[in-house]
């Protein structure tokens, strides 16, 4: 396969270029937008391992926790894994957490959707369907239209005002319950896929200021419990992170980043438009922020999440992306 394109890694020669980050996002970023791979799982391989972690609760928040086999006898670092719309009950996401745990991390994968995972979440079939009849084609189009509507309605509910308080509560718990792992890593690491990529990016920013419109809304909002929780976020809440084929990331999200991030990107990805990524690169260079951006050609959005593909090219890219993420968080 073609090697992923290494976009940038700071410090860079163009570090003095002025930022062209604007407050206006492209149409693709202003409304609910999600891809099929953000809300459905790939099939698991026939020889798939079974999850080795466990579902538990931090208060009223469901979390999947996966630990290295010899923890706590051998120190481990703390990693927050933020998923796509498929959520904590996805077998693929659980195995993804286990793979990272096997590399020396206590992995905490929270239900960032508060029990409201993406609708119609199911595995995508690898089998090519037979040519449908005209009636079947009509039914398929109607079903896809209905599903798209449901996904958009679901996504409209998954706002920073809802998601961030959940993540902040989880972070409060892990700082106490897994203080040894947090201390061993010198902070909390985060890896985010698809929807979770946006929130890893936000946690890498300057708290409520990195949320932009959320901060403005809260300035005028009643002082309810959720508002107070979000306002507790000040400064980056993670030490370093990695983001794979993020969705819904805005210019302001990237502008707020203050800690080292690695990006796994898909070539010509409408869910992470090139113009936003390019402006992010210039912002990172201007602020001399340590970062890494690799673009993978010939792969679909969502390819880096654990799951089976028929294409050897995509399978190899998936392995390469995992090593990119792993190398980054281990070296920071």
Q: Read out DSSP for 189-242?
A: EEEEETHHHHHHHHHTS-GGGGGTHHHHHHHTS---HHHHHHHT--S-S-SEEE
Domain count, the chain: 1
E-strand spans in 72-178? 77-82, 105-110
Residue ranges of the chain whose pLDDT lies below 50: 8-32, 122-130, 135, 137-147, 208-232
pLDDT at 314: 93
pLDDT at 155: 74
Hey, CA dihedral for 272, 276, 281, 283, is it positive or negative? negative
pLDDT at 307: 87
pLDDT at 70: 96
Q: Tell me, what DSSP letter sits at residue 41?
A: B
Kindly report the pTM of this predicted structure.
0.78
Among candidates 254, 253, 250, 267, which has minimal Cα distance to 303? 267
Distances (CA, A) of 113 to 108, 175, 176, 277, 302: 15, 21, 23, 26, 19
pLDDT at 41: 73
d(CA 175, CA 158): 25
pLDDT at 82: 98
By the 10 Å C-beta count (0-12 exposed, 13-18 middle, 19+ buried), 142 is classed as: exposed
CATH number at residue 70: 3.40.50.1820
Hey, CA dihedral for 98, 103, 108, 109, is it positive or negative? negative
Domain hosting 187: range is: 5-330
């Amino acid at each position: 396969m073609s090697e992923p394109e290494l976009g940038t890694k700071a410090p860079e020669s163009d570090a003095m270029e002025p930022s062209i980050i604007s407050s206006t996002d492209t149409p693709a970023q202003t409304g609910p937008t999600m891809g099929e791979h953000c809300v459905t799982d790939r099939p698991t391989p026939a020889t798939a391992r079974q999850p080795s972690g466990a579902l538990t609760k931090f208060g009223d928040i469901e979390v999947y926790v996966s630990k290295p086999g010899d923890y706590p006898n051998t120190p481990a670092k703390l990693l927050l894994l933020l998923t796509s719309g498929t959520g904590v009950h996805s077998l693929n996401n659980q195995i993804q957490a286990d793979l990272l745990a096997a590399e020396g991390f206590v992995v905490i994968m929270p239900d960032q959707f508060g029990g409201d995972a993406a609708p119609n979440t199911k595995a995508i079939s690898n089998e090519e369907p037979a040519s449908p009849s005209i009636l079947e084609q009509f039914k398929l189009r109607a079903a896809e239209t209905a599903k798209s509507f449901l996904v958009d309605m679901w996504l409209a509910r998954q706002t920073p005002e809802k998601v961030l308080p959940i993540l902040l509560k989880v972070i409060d718990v892990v700082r106490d319950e897994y203080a040894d792992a947090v201390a061993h890593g010198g902070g909390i690491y985060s890896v985010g896929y698809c929807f979770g990529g946006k929130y890893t990016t936000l946690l890498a920013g300057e708290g409520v200021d990195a949320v932009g419109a959320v901060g403005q809304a809260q300035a005028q909002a009643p002082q309810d419990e959720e508002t107070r929780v979000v306002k507790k976020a000040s400064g980056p809440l993670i030490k370093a992170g990695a983001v794979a084929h993020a969705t819904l990331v805005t210019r302001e999200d990237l502008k707020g980043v203050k800690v080292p991030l690695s990006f796994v990107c898909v070539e010509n990805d409408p869910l992470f438009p090139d113009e936003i990524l390019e402006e992010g690169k210039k912002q990172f260079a201007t602020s001399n922020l340590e970062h890494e951006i690799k673009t993978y050609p010939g792969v679909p959005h969502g390819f880096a999440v654990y799951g089976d593909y028929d294409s050897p090219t995509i399978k190899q890219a998936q392995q390469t992306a995992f090593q990119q993420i792993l190398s980054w968080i281990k070296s920071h």
